[in-house]
Structure formats: structure tokens, C-alpha cells
Amino acid sequence: MSDNLEIVDIMISAFDHYHRWVDVEMEKDVRKNALPPIKGAITKGKLSHRGLKVVTQQYTGETWVEQRGKIITPKYSKEMWQDSKIKAN
């Protein structure tokens, strides 16, 4: 039973790490690619004023940001995250 709990803890930790990575990467890309550029804190008002929304594709698990229907960030996936971890080491 404790082995199952350890596996669950590892999975939860991996998903948390993945979501933090996506947040950091997405923020960098949104600041760089949004028009007009976002300076200072990213707030709900700034996002809605610029027509930005986060899209998650249900079947593939990919996540990206669109600005008024145009994709402005890469499509983030768990495979990208794993590749970035390999390149960092």
C-alpha cells in the first residue's frame, strides 16, 4: 500500500513541476509576443484588454495562448517539458 502512495506522490510532484514550467515559459512568451507588449504585473484586465486567452486541447493535453484567435505561443506539451529537462542537464 505504501508503494502506491509513493507512486502517487511522485506523479503529483511531476504534474506540479510541469504546470509551474508551463506557467514560467508561457509568461515569457506572452510578454514577448502580445501586442501591445505587457509590462509590469500580468493582471486579468491586461489579459482581457489585449484579447488573450489560454487554450488547452483536451485530447492532446497541449496548452497555448491565443490573442484574438491567433496563436502567439508554442503549443506546450509534456514532451516539450521532458525535452527541456534533458537539454538542461
Residue 1 predicted with pLDDT over 70: no
pLDDT at position 86 is: 54
Residue 49 predicted with pLDDT over 80: yes
Lowest model confidence (mean pLDDT) among 11-15, 21-25, 47-51: 11-15
- What is the pTM (predicted TM-score) of this model? 0.77
Residue 82 predicted with pLDDT over 60: yes
- On whether the CB atoms of residues 50 and 36 are closer than 8 A, the answer is yes
Q: How many residues does the chain have?
A: 89
Distances in Å between the alpha carbon of 1 and those of 5, 10, 40?
A: 7, 15, 48
pLDDT at position 77 is: 86
Distance CA 3, CA 72 (A): 42
In the predicted model, what is the mean pLDDT of residues 33-62? Answer: 91
